[in-house]
A and B are shown apart, each in its own frame.
Chain A
Amino acid sequence: MRYAILLLGGPYSAQAAHSALRFARAVLARGHRLEGVFFYHDGVQNAARLMAPPQDEPHLVDGWVGLNAEQGVPLMVCIAAALRRGLMDEREATRHGKQGHSVEAPFELTGLGQLVDLGLGCDRLVTFGP
C-alpha cells in the first residue's frame, strides 16, 4: 500500500515526531511504500538543519534524513509555516535578505498543494498531532 504521514508536532516538545518516525519505519518494514512525510504547523521545526540534541537522545533530523537516504522518502515542509518560524533554505534566505539558512536537502520547502496531492495519491494518510 501507499502511505503518507502528516506531522503537526514540534520536535522534543510533543511525542508526535517520535511517534511518526516509529510509524514510518514500521510501515516500510511491512513492505509498504511511504510516498512522503509532510511537515506542517510546528512540525516544520523537524527540518531544522542546526538541531543538536544530546547524544543519548534520538536525533530526529538524522532519523528523517535516514528515511530519505534509505528509502527515498520525500520530506516536504510547508513553506508558509516554515518561513514564519525562521526556517528557510538558501534560496529563501537570499530572497528575504537573511544570513545563513536553516533548512537543507533532502528537506524541501513546498506548498499546501503538495499535501493535497499527497493525500490524493496515497491509500492511507496518517496524521500525528501535537
Chain B
Amino acid sequence: MLLHILNRSPLSSLVYRQAIATMGTEDRLLLIEDGVQGALPTLVRHFEALEGRLFALREDLVARGLAGKCDASVQVVDVDGFVELTEEAERTVSWY
C-alpha cells in the first residue's frame, strides 16, 4: 500500500487525475496544502473512486477556514496522523 500526497486543488490543477489513475486499489490519498479543498462536499466527487481511502490534513484545513466543512467521507488527520499514514505505507508518492 502506497500513500499518495496531493497539494493541488482540483479547481487549479488536473494532476489529481494522474494521481487517481496511478493509484493501486489499496493505496491511500492524503490532501495537503491547497489540496484540502478537494475534501469539500462540492469537490469531493472528483475523488469518489477512493471511497474510504481519502484523507485531509487538519492543520491545512484550519489555516484556510475549512475545518468542520469536509465531506463526511473524508478522514481528517493532523500532522501526527500524517506521519502515521507514512508509517503504514510502504512508500510515499507526492503529486504537485
Contacts and interface: CB of A to CB of B under 8 A. Distances in A.
Interface residues of A, number: 20
Interface in B42-90: 59-60, 79-80, 82-84, 86-87, 89
Given A30-B83, A124-B86, A126-B86, A22 B59 contact: yes
A1 B96 CA distance: 26
A21 to B, nearest CB: 11
Consensus secondary structure, chain B interface: helix
B32 interface: yes
Interface residues of B, number: 20
A32 B83 contact: yes
B27 interface: no
Contacts, number: 49
12 contacts: A15-B33, A15-B34, A19-B32, A22-B59, A22-B79, A30-B83, A32-B83, A124-B86, A124-B89, A126-B94, A128-B94, A129-B95
B7 A26 contact: no
Interface of A: 1, 3, 8, 15-16, 19, 22-23, 26-27, 29-30, 32, 124-130
A29 B83 CA distance: 10
Question: Which of B59, B87, B95 has the most C-beta atoms of chain A within 10 angstroms of its own C-beta?
Answer: B87
Given A15-B7, A29-B80, A30-B80, A1 B87 contact: yes
